[in-house]
Structure 1
Amino acid sequence: MPTSTQARPARTRGRGRDGHELRFVTIHGHRRAFVTAGQGPALVLLHGLGCDHTTWSPVIARLAEHFTVIAPDLLGHGASDKPRADYSVGGYANGMRDLLTVLGIDKATVVGHSFGGGVAMQFAYQFPERTERLVLVASGGLGPEVTPVIRAVTTPGFHQVMGALTMPVVRQVGTTAMSALSLLPVPATRDLDEVAAIYDSFKDPAARAAIRHVVRAVVDWRGQIVTMADRAYLTEAMPMCVLWGTDDHVIPVSHAANAAALAPKARIEIMDGAGHFPHKEDPERFADLVLDFCASTRPAVYSRARWRALLRTGHDTGLTSVGGATGA
Structure 2
Amino acid sequence: MGTTPTRPLHAVTEVEPRLTFRTIHGYRRAVRIAGSGPAILLVHGIGDNSETWRGIIPHLARNHTVIAPDLLGHGRSDKPRADYSVAGFANGLRDLLAVLDIDRVTVIGHSLGGGVASQFTYQFPELVERLVLVCAGGVSREVHPVLRLGAVPGFALGLRVVQVPGVPAALESTGRQISALCRASGYSRPSVLHDAADGMRVVAGHSDATGHRAFIKTLRAVVDWRGQAVTILDRSYLYEHIPVQIVWGERDGLLPVAHAHLAHSAIPDSRLEIFSESAHFPFHDEPDRFVATVQNFIATTQPAAFDRQRWRHTLESGLRTTDISGSPADRLAVLDAIDATERSAT
Q: TM-score, normalised by structure 1?
A: 0.88
Q: CA deviation at 1:287?
A: 0.4
1:268 & 1:20 partners in 2: Cα distance? 29
Shift of 1:160: 1.5
**Quick one: distance in 2 between partners of 1:91 and 1:32?**
14
Tell me what 1:174 maps to: 171
Match of 2:256 in 1: 252
* Aligned twin of 1:5: none
Q: Distance in 1 between matches of 2:126 and 2:168?
A: 45
Q: Distance in 2 between matches of 1:71 and 1:172?
A: 25
Indicate the percent of aligned positions where both proteins have the same amino acid. 48
Gaps of 5+ in 2: 1-15, 321-346
Tell me the alpha carbon deviations over residues 113-166 of structure 1, each in whole angstroms, 9 at most, x when there is no partner. 000000000000000011000000000111111111111122212221111354
Comparing 253-262 and 186-195, the one that deviates more? 186-195
Q: Which moved more, 1:184-193 or 1:135-144?
A: 184-193
Output the CA distance in 2 between the equivalents of 1:37 and 1:223.
Answer: 36
1:108 aligns with 2:105: yes
**Structure 2 residue matching 1:55: 3-state secondary structure:** helix
Q: Which residue of 2 is the match for residue 314 of structure 1?
A: 318
Structure 2 residue 134 is the aligned partner of structure 1 residue 137: yes
Where do residues 287-326 of structure 1 align in structure 2 (5 Å cutoff)? 287-315=291-319
Superposition pairs for residues 78-93 of structure 1, below 5 Å? Answer: 78-93=75-90
Q: What amino acid sits opposite 1:84 in the alignment?
A: R
Counterpart of 2:22 in structure 1 is 25
Runs of at least 5 residues in structure 1 that lack an aligned partner in the other structure: 1-18, 317-328
C-alpha distance in structure 2 between counterparts of 1:268 and 1:169, whole Å: 42
Aligned pairs for 1:1-328 (under 5 A) are: 20-184=17-181, 185=183, 186-187=187-188, 188=191, 189-315=193-319
TM-score by length of 2: 0.84
Structure 1 distance, partners of 2:303, 2:77, is: 30
Higher strand share: 1
1:7-53: CA deviation from partner (whole Å, max 9, x where unpaired): xxxxxxxxxxxx84210000000000000001110100000011100
- Return the offset for 1:191: 0.8
State whether residues 233 and 263 of structure 1, in contact with CA within 8 Å, keep that contact through their aligned partners in structure 2. yes
Q: Using the alignment, how far apart are the partners of 1:200 and 1:81 within structure 2? A: 17
CA RMSD of aligned residues (A): 1.5
How many residue pairs end up in the alignment?
299
CA contact (8 A) 1:162 1:202 kept: no
In structure 2, relative to structure 1, the CA distance for the partners of 1:141 and 1:290 (3 Å cut) is: same
Secondary structure of 1:153's match? helix
Q: Which structure has greater helix proportion?
A: 2
